[in-house]
Amino acid sequence: MKVPLKLLKFAQRCRWLAKQASSRQRNETDIRQILVRCARRYPGRGLYYVASVSGIENPTFTTYMELLNRAVLISSALKAKGLSQGRVIVLYFSNHQDNIEYFWGALFAGLLPCVLGPLNPSVPGKNSKMVSYLHRLLNKPVFLTRQSQCQDLSNVNEEDTLEILTADELESKAVMTKRTTSHRQHGGSPYDTTLLLLTSGSTGMPKAVELTHGNVFAASQAKAATYNLTGDDTVLNWVGFDHVACAVENHITPMCVGANQVHVLAPLLLNDVGSFFKMIEHHGITLTFAPNFLLAKMNSCLRENMEQYRGKLNLSNLRRINSGGEANVVETGQQLLEALEKADTGFSGCITPGFGMTETCAGCIYNVGYPLVDAGRELASVGRCVKSAQMRIVDKDGKETSSGSVGALQIRGRMVFKGYFNNPVATRESFTDGWFKTGDCGFVVDGVLTLTGRANDSIIVNGINYGTSELERLLENVPGITKSFVAVFTTRPPGSGHEHLAIVYLPSFAYPDDEETLVKTHAAIRERTVLYCSKVPDLILPLPQKSMEKTSLGKLPRGQLRKQLEGGGFDRHLSKVEEIFAKRRQGLKASPVTPAENMLATFWSQIFGVPEESLDAEENFFERGGSSLEVIRYKSMIVEHFSLEDNWPVIRIMQYPTIRSLAHHLTSETQLAENVNPNSNYDPLICLQPTGSRTPVFFIHPGVGEVLIFVNLAKYFIGERPFYALRARGFDEGQTYFESMEEMVETYTRAIERKQPHGPYALAGYSYGGIVAFEIAKKLEARNAEVKFVGLVNIPPHIKSRMLEINWTDGFLNLSYFLEFITKPEAIELASQLLPLSRREQLDYVWHRAPKARRAELGLDVERLEKWVDLAQSLLACGRAYEPSGMVRGCDLTVFYAEPLKGTKTDWLVNQLQDWTKYAHRNVQYVDVPGSHYTLMNQVYVAHFQKIFKDSLANAGL
């Protein structure tokens, strides 16, 4: 059968297209073709190298074609040395141009390049150990460097004889004379390793990450698409070539589309942010990289030199600033964008926090909505995966978690590495079912990843994980600490049954001579640590500069610091600090004296994990680090030792927070006297935090009357301002309940005036307490006192109808939910079931459903629970006749609103809370806070609430 000519030509065309597609596919399995194709397609584009400040405007320029020719020439010289195909070659150079040219030269020679970052000449012993380790790990590689840097590779063990080549020798006329006219190479497989990059080695010696041709192709294509890169772009890189962010992200990726590249040595930019701006402007940079610390520097530089930059700095070409390497603070991004706009820079691009590792070819997850999508949070999420990567969160059993649940982050995809070179054990331990175990923890909501820390970089207190990175950020602004030179990690001393919390830092003062500043710095570190994680550091240690070296991305290697500490490397510094503090403790400390004081000191020692001899009888329990959980444990110890009733009031710990005052209370006639005239001895004020010189905060109890809910919040004010909570009358035996709102308000107002005779006053109330705070503010103003802040937490002005609809059963179930005896769904479900029962039957039913551990923690019995319900009912009765009237005139009202008990948040705000506008002579600030009505101050949300609350105080001038 004769085939029609038209059909024959069509078949031939199909075969040709298939052949071309196959050819392109083969080319995309060998990254050398990226440079070949780029050089041919974009002959006028290339790389700028900046080695000095003067080089910003006069850099060295090399086209991609010149780079290709140079690489081929180098490959010829390497081949002439007889190096076998596939052998590892360690590149050790001090500048980008050498690294880039010899990287490509090694690839074209069929070698496997591994880039070694800068070694510190001041610690030759450490260097020799590293070089010897790499010599064995990489199967006796050849080292390639400059003659001037050979000294860094010397002094290795005798058995580790290195083969070292110098670029100076290769570039001599005697060697580099043979020219290769063809760029063709034997094609590689996408599964072949093309590049080795070393991990940071933060936990010891680094591992060598094997990146394949396929990894690099997939990563570069995904990044180029994500960044919308074209040949018209110019990318600025200051990261060393030993880092994946340079090699893959800022070098090979822009090469894929023919974009220009500018490479500059990091110190030129990091030590002078003005040069960073100048570089971006002069070269028309469209994409660059800046970790959070550099974003903060950019912000400070602009704000401190606003007049110098306003209208004179042109950043209009800059479309994107990638950020990573450390967590991004939302406020930093917000402030930088504001400063860029105020300076009229023309910047309209985005700052994109992301996540990536050497093992994932750098960034594989990006947050393109920062900082707007993270408003109200302290730290930014890191966003969504690029197309060549997938992520999941798993629990400790390896099962994928539900949305919002914290677990271990795992990633898979074409850009995820092959394995660790010559380390099958580490490779095997890093993968599960094809998923790479990153070692990071986080959660995913709607496809967006939020990191919570490294799995091994967290502090666990009372079962709750606290990230060391976040604590480091809290500490880096402590006076006495060199900014960004503080590291937090856990360590387990020999023979210890638990991990200790260690904090090391670089002092900014004259240590060890300036002992006064040392003491103040350590006190501030303790205070901020306690307010963050309710734990006193076991070790605080100032270290010299040489012990606090950073990685190329500006990170302090916690793992190496931990290893040095545990290996005795810091013993000399530890002894010096202890000597200073031991000397100062003599004669300054009020030691426990009486048997009761010594016993309480024993309890403190067990609770806080500190020696008894270090304790001061006049120290405050809450300053030392006591949270609500420590309060419960302390009470249990006291009740058992002093043979008290189980229902001994836990509030006594707050009323008598020092060892001396509580010991006196427990052993004196005070307890008997309280029963003689309980109402006359009633003082509503409970000091939860006494330190600080700023205006005190007075926080009024919610509708349950108790103030334990404020313990965790009060810690955040240590060293800043005193924190007082007001507790309802009626908890102690013989005390009567308040009979009216007016009586309660007058009693609380007098107590506040006794503690603080003159304004300005800062008042706040949680739920029901917000109404009381509003009335106290009016009363103080009527007495010509200045009220500067009134905070109303999730309460509308009109409460009468709600008070009238809550019967005894409703109030009992609300209290039971508040005490965590039952869940919210159970409280709703039980309302109709319990209503027909007697009070005692209702109490018994819930009591037996409540967790035994929780009942024991609170020290309640059924009788005390019933009395507590009656007290709450008395407060409701005071509110049933309440109608708001008058206005607060001297300050704004600040209304903090969370998820309501019923309905939606929007309905709650618009239809109920916004009625406060009628009762403020000035403005009303409505502030959204995370959590729900009953949870906004619990362990999960209190860190968020305190920051928002403090910001509101600051806005009020306090």
Q: Cite the active site residues.
A: 767
Q: Which neighbouring-strand residues pair with 699?
A: 725, 764
Q: Which neighbouring-strand residues pair with 518?
A: none
488: left (phi over 0), alpha (psi -120 to 50) or beta: beta
Closest CA to 363 of 383, 378, 333, 379: 383
Our CA angle for 883, 885, 889, nearest 5°, is 150
Closest CA to 550 of 249, 240, 245, 300: 240
Lookup: tokens for 282: 């002069």
From CA 576, how far away is CA 42, in angstroms rounded?
62
From CA 362, how far away is CA 242, in angstroms rounded?
12
The set of residues, in sequence order, having a beta carbon less than 8 Å from that of 104 and lying 6+ positions away, is 32, 35, 67, 68, 70, 71, 74
Report the sign of the C-alpha dihedral through residues 904, 910, 916, 921, in that order. Answer: positive
The set of residues, in sequence order, having a beta carbon less than 8 Å from that of 318 and lying 6+ positions away, is 280, 285, 286, 287, 288, 347, 349
Lookup: tokens for 607: 């609770």
* Helical ranges in 567-669 per DSSP H: 571-585, 595-608, 621-624, 628-641, 651-655, 659-667
From CA 41, how far away is CA 761, in angstroms rounded?
71
Lookup: tokens for 406: 């914290």
What are residue 55's phi and psi, to 5 degrees? -75, -5
Please tell me what DSSP assigns to residue 681.
T
Asked if residues 74 and 108 have their Cβ atoms less than 8 Å apart, the reply is: yes
The one-letter code for the residue type at 280 is I
The verdict on whether omega for the bond into residue 371 sits within 30 degrees of 0, i.e. cis, is yes
From CA 556, how far away is CA 405, in angstroms rounded?
29
First to last CA, the chain: 96
Closest CA to 804 of 901, 882, 722: 882
Please report which helix (H) or strand (E) contains residue 128, including its range.
Answer: helix 124-137
The Cβ of residue 74 has, within 10 Å, a number of other Cβ atoms equal to: 24
From CA 942, how far away is CA 466, in angstroms rounded?
13
Residue carrying structure tokens 């001297």: 890
What are residue 392's phi and psi, to 5 degrees? -155, 160
The one-letter code for the residue type at 586 is Q
Lookup: tokens for 328: 């991004």
Can you give the three-state secondary structure of 702-770, one letter per residue? CCCCCCHHHHHHHHHHCCCCCEEEECCCCCCCCCCCCCCHHHHHHHHHHHHHHHCCCCCEEEEEECHHH
From CA 790, how far away is CA 809, in angstroms rounded?
32
The one-letter code for the residue type at 737 is Y
Burial pattern 611-636, b for ≥16 Cβ within 10 A else e, equals: eeeebbbebbbbbbbbbbbbbbebbb
The set of residues, in sequence order, having a beta carbon less than 8 Å from that of 783 and lying 6+ positions away, is none
Lookup: tokens for 643: 């043979």
* Helical ranges in 81-176 per DSSP H: 96-108, 124-137, 167-170
The verdict on whether omega for the bond into residue 512 sits within 30 degrees of 0, i.e. cis, is yes
From CA 684, how far away is CA 750, in angstroms rounded?
10
